[in-house]
A = this chain, B = another copy of it.
C-alpha cells in the first residue's frame, strides 16, 4: 500500500523540496562514517571550504542538522539579549513566522509589515532603525510563500552606512545559490538556507554563514542552549566536526553538489537561474500575470496571479495525473488566487518548457 503510492512520487516543481537528480540521491546511499574519524573530517572540511567560496565569505560556515527554521531560532538565541528588541520585516508567511519565533524565544520584536507580494523598502527600514531601538533586523531574501525578492542590496547598503551596529539576519532559504549573494560584501551577520531548495538535495540539513561579530556577540548572550549554540559549532568546526552527530548522508550530497556548483561557477549558476526565471515569467505574463512586480520577482520561483479564474487545484491534479509532476497552489490566503512554480537547483529550462506546455493544455 505504502510502496504502491510512494514508489513513483511526482517530480517536484513545488517551491521546495524540489526535484533531486538520481546521481545526487545516490550520494545519500553511500556507506556511513564515524563522525569523529578522519574520513568525516575530510568530508566536512572540504564541504565547508567549498561553501565559503560559494557564499563568498572568509568568516564562519556551519552545517546544522535541522531545517533552516532551526537557524531562525539560532540567530535569535545566540545574538539577541533578552532586553534587546528585534525589527522583523514581514512580507509573507515565512518572514511572519520568523517574527513569531523571536517572540517564542522570549525576545522583544516589532514587526514592519508590508502587503504580501510587495517588497520591504530601505526607506521603511531606515525610518524604524532611526529610532535607535533595535539590536538586530530580520529580512527574508526570497519569500517562498509569495515569490517576492526583497531589495537586499539596497537594504544592506543603507544599514552598513547608517546603522553599522545593527546585526543583520537574512533568511536565504529559497535564495542561496539561486540568487547572487556575497556574504562578506553584504555585511550580513547570519544567513542561512536548507538544502532542499537551490542546492537540490532532499531535506534534513541547513547551511549557515555567521559573521565574526555575531560570534563575539553570542559569547555575551546567556541561555543559548546547546543544540544551536554557535560557540559549540565553532569549537567543533576547528576540528572539522559538528558538536552533535550530523546528517552525514546529506553532507555527502552537499559535497557533491558544491563540487558541481564551483565547476560551473557561481556567476553562471546565478545567470542560469535568471534565464529559467525569465522564461517562466514570460509565459506567466502572456497567459496570466505575475503576482509580484517583475523587479521584485525571485529568480528561483514564480508566483502566477490567477487572472483567468482557473480552478488551480484541478489543473494541478490533472497535470500530476497525466505527467506525474507537481507544482504548487498559492500559499494560505493566496490559494486559488495564485499558483507557484519552482525553477531552481537542478530543474532545467526544458523541464519548465514541458511544464508550462502541460499547463497550457489544461487551460486551453
Is A343 positioned at the interface, with any CB of B under 8 Å from its CB? no
Chain B residues near A5 (CB-CB < 8 A): 39, 42
Q: Is the CB of A29 within 8 A of B29?
A: yes
Q: Are the C-beta atoms of B28 and A223 separated by less than 8 Å?
A: no
Whether B32 lies near A29 (C-beta < 8 A) is no
| Count of residues in A whose CB is under 8 Å from the partner chain | 66
Q: What's the number of copies of this chain in the assembled complex?
A: 2
A227 an interface residue at 8 Å Cβ cutoff? Answer: yes
- CA distance in complex: A303, B311 (Å): 64
Establish whether residues B247 and A6, one from each chain, have CB atoms under 8 Å apart when the complex forms. no
The verdict on A72 contacting chain B, using a C-beta distance below 8 Å, is yes
Closest to A229 in B: B104
Question: Residue-by-residue, is A195-207 near B (CB-CB < 8 Å gives 1, otherwise 0)?
Answer: 0100000111100
Are A30 and B25 in contact, CB atoms less than 8 angstroms apart? Answer: yes
Are B26 and A245 neighbours in the complex by a CB distance under 8 Å? no
Q: Is A34 an interface residue (CB 8 A)?
A: yes
Residues on B with beta carbons closer than 8 Å to the beta carbon of A77: 225
Nearest residue (CB) in B for A15 is B34
- Report the Cα distance A65→B227, complex, angstroms: 12
Task: Say whether, besides A67-B244, A105-B225, A225-B105, A37 and B100 are in contact (CB < 8 Å).
Answer: no
Query: Which residues of the other chain, B, contact A225 by a CB distance below 8 angstroms?
Result: 73, 77, 101, 104-105
Binds B, one of A53-61, A164-172, A248-256, A280-288: A248-256
- With the chains together, A326 CA to B31 CA distance in Å? 13
Residue of B nearest to A250 (CB): B204
Q: Quick one: which of B2, B26, B202, B227 contacts A32, CB cutoff 8 A?
A: B202
**A20 CB contacts on chain B under 8 angstroms:** 31-32
Partner of A25, one of B31, B222, B255: B31
Chain A interface (Cβ within 8 Å of chain B)? Answer: 2, 5-6, 8-9, 11-12, 14, 16-17, 20, 22, 25-26, 28-35, 37, 39, 42-43, 46, 65-70, 72-73, 77, 100-101, 104-106, 194, 196, 202-205, 222-229, 243-250, 252, 255, 326
Q: Which 7 A-B pairs have the closest CB atoms?
A: A204-B247, A106-B223, A32-B202, A29-B29, A67-B244, A69-B244, A28-B28
